[in-house]
Amino acid sequence: MITDARVLQTEFVPSEVVHRHAEVDTIAGALEPLVDDDRPEDALLFGPTGVGKTCVARYTVSRLREQLLDLRTCYVNCWSDRTRFRVLYRLLDAIDRTVDVHRRSTPKDELLDRLREADDHPYVAVLDEADQLEDPSLLYDLSRLPHLTLVVVANRETDLFASLSERTSSRLQSSTRLSFDRYGTDELVAILQGRAEQGLEPGAISDSQLRRIADAAAGDARIAIGTLRSAARTAEREDADAITDAMLTDAIPDARETVRQRAIDQLTDHQRVCYRIVAEAGEIEPGDLYERYRERVDEPRTRRTVRDYLSKLDHYNLVRASGEKRGRTYHAVGRSE
C-alpha cells in the first residue's frame, strides 16, 4: 500500500509545490539578488496553520541552493528552539562552527560573534514559528549581519510585531511581506493527489475519497495529509488493496487528534499551564484564567504575554475565544471541533 512513507509526512517538501506558485515567486524574487552577488531582502511569511508557509519557504530556499552551490542554509523551528542560545547554536551547527561550543559555559554573545565572522559565503536562515522566540531582539541582531538573509515565518503579523522593539520593527519594515490564505477544497485535492501518486500504490484511493478528506480538513493541509497517512496505515495493517470509506471515517478524527496532540506537545511550560486551566474549567474568562495561572507558576508573565499565549493556542485550534473584550471567554477545543 505505502510505497514511500516520507511523502505522507507533513514535513515532506515535494519536488513541486502546487497552488502556491505566486508565493514561491514572491519569496524567490526577494532572494534572487543572491545569484548576482547582490543584497537580497528578508522575507516575512504570515498565515494560519496548515496553509503551506513552511513548505513554501523550505522549497524556495532549496531551489535557490541548486543555483548557488556555495549558499548555506538552515531551518530553525523556534517553537522547539526558542532561546537565543538554541537558535544561534542551530545556525552555527549548520555550518560546522560548534565543535568547541559548550551549552553551559559559552557566552551567547560569542555565538553571535562567530556567526558574524562566518561571512565567507551567503547564508539564508528560515526561522519558523518566530513569534515563539523568548528574545525577539535576536531578529534585530541577525538582520544586521550582511551575509545572512532571514525568511521569518509566523501566524499573524500583528502578533509578531507586537513583541518587537521599535528598532527591530523598523529594521524589518523593508522586508518582503507575504500573507497565505487557507487552501480551497480543490487545492487540497491536488496536494493529496500528488502525495498519493508518490507515496501509495496505484488505485489505493479514489478521487472522491480524496475530496472527502479535503472537505473534512477545512483548508488545513496538515489534517488532510495526516488523514491520508492514517488511512493508508490502516489499509496496510489490514493488508487491503485499497483504502475504504470506513477507514476514512476513522482516520479523519485521528488526524485531527494527532495534529492537536502534536501542538500540545510543543507548548512552552507557561503555555501548557494556560491550556490546562482552560481545559479543566471548560469555559473561563480572561481575568479568572490569569489569576489561576499566577497561582500555578513561579515566575508569572504579564497579562499581555498571557494574551499572546492564548492567541497562539487559538491559532493551533487548542482553545477558542468567544465574545469581545470584557465579555470574552475561552474554551478548549475537543476532538470533534
Query: What residue numbers bound the domain in which 274 lies?
Result: 267-332
Question: Mean pLDDT, to the nearest integer, of 4-20?
Answer: 92
Domain boundary among 156, 179, 202: 179
Tell me the per-residue pLDDT of 279-298, one tens digit each, with 9 for 90 and over.
999 899 999 999 999 999 99
Grid cell of 75 as nine digits = 531551518
Domain boundary among 134, 156, 179: 179
Residue 335 has pLDDT above 80, yes or no: no
SS (H, E, C) the chain: CECCHHHHCCCCCCCCCCCCHHHHHHHHHHHHHHHHCCCCCCEEEECCCCCCHHHHHHHHHHHHHHHCCCCEEEEEECCCCCCHHHHHHHHHHCCCCCCCCCCCCCCHHHHHHHHHHCCCCCEEEEEECHHHCCCCHHHHHHHCCCCEEEEEEECCHHHHHHCCCHHHHHHHCCCEEEECCCCCHHHHHHHHHHHHHHHECCCCCCHHHHHHHHHHHCCCHHHHHHHHHHHHHHHHHCCCCCCCHHHHHHHHHHHHHHHHHHHHHHCCHHHHHHHHHHHHHCEECHHHHHHHHHHHCCCCCCHHHHHHHHHHHHHCCCEEEECCHHHCEEEECCCCC
Give me the pLDDT at residue 75, please: 97
Give me the pLDDT at residue 188, please: 97
Cβ-proximal residues to 25 (8 Å cutoff; 6+ apart), any chain: none
- The structural domain count of the chain equals 3
Phi, psi of 154 (to 5 degrees): -155, 170
- Is 249 in the same domain as 308? no
Q: Let me know if residue 60 belongs to a domain.
A: yes
Q: Let me know if residue 8 belongs to a domain.
A: no
Tell me the per-residue pLDDT of 128-142, one tens digit each, with 9 for 90 and over.
999 889 899 999 999
HSE-up of residue 95 (Cα within 13 Å, Cβ side): 24
Cβ(219)–Cβ(184) below 8 Å? yes
Compute the chain's Rg from CA coordinates.
21
Residue 336 has pLDDT above 80, yes or no: no
Domain boundary among 214, 235, 264: 264
- Is 71 in the same domain as 166? yes
Q: Which of 15-19, 76-80, 188-192 has the highest mean pLDDT?
A: 188-192
- Could you tell me the pLDDT band of residue 246, with boundaries at 50, 70 and 90? very high
CATH number at residue 309: 1.10.10.10
The sign of the CA dihedral 222, 254, 233, 248 is: negative
- From the centroid of its chain, how far is CA 215? 22
- Is 281 in the same domain as 254? no
Q: Which residues make beta-bridge pairs with 45?
A: 153, 178
- Is 155 in the same domain as 74? yes
Q: Let me know if residue 337 belongs to a domain.
A: no
Task: Please give the mean pLDDT across all residues of the chain.
Answer: 92
Residue type, 201: E
Question: Mean pLDDT, to the nearest integer, of 144-165?
Answer: 92
Phi, psi of 36 (to 5 degrees): -100, 20
Question: Mean pLDDT, to the nearest integer, of 104-116?
Answer: 84
Cβ(250)–Cβ(226) below 8 Å? no
Number of Cβ within a 10 Å radius of residue 141 = 18
Residue 163 has pLDDT above 90, yes or no: no
Give me the pLDDT at residue 100, please: 83
- Is 190 in the same domain as 130? no
Residue 42 has pLDDT above 60, yes or no: yes
Give me the pLDDT at residue 108, please: 76
Question: Mean pLDDT, to the nearest integer, of 252-264?
Answer: 92
CATH number at residue 231: 1.10.8.60
Residue 159 has pLDDT above 90, yes or no: no
Question: Mean pLDDT, to the nearest integer, of 268-278?
Answer: 94
Task: Scan for cell 502578533, then name that residue.
Answer: 159
- Is 219 in the same domain as 315? no
Residue type, 97: R
- Is 194 in the same domain as 300? no
- Is 241 in the same domain as 169? no
- Is 154 in the same domain as 110? yes
Give me the pLDDT at residue 304, please: 87
Max CA separation in the chain (angstroms): 59
Tell me the per-residue pLDDT of 217-227, one tens digit each, with 9 for 90 and over.
999 999 999 99
- Could you tell me the pLDDT band of residue 337, with boundaries at 50, 70 and 90? low
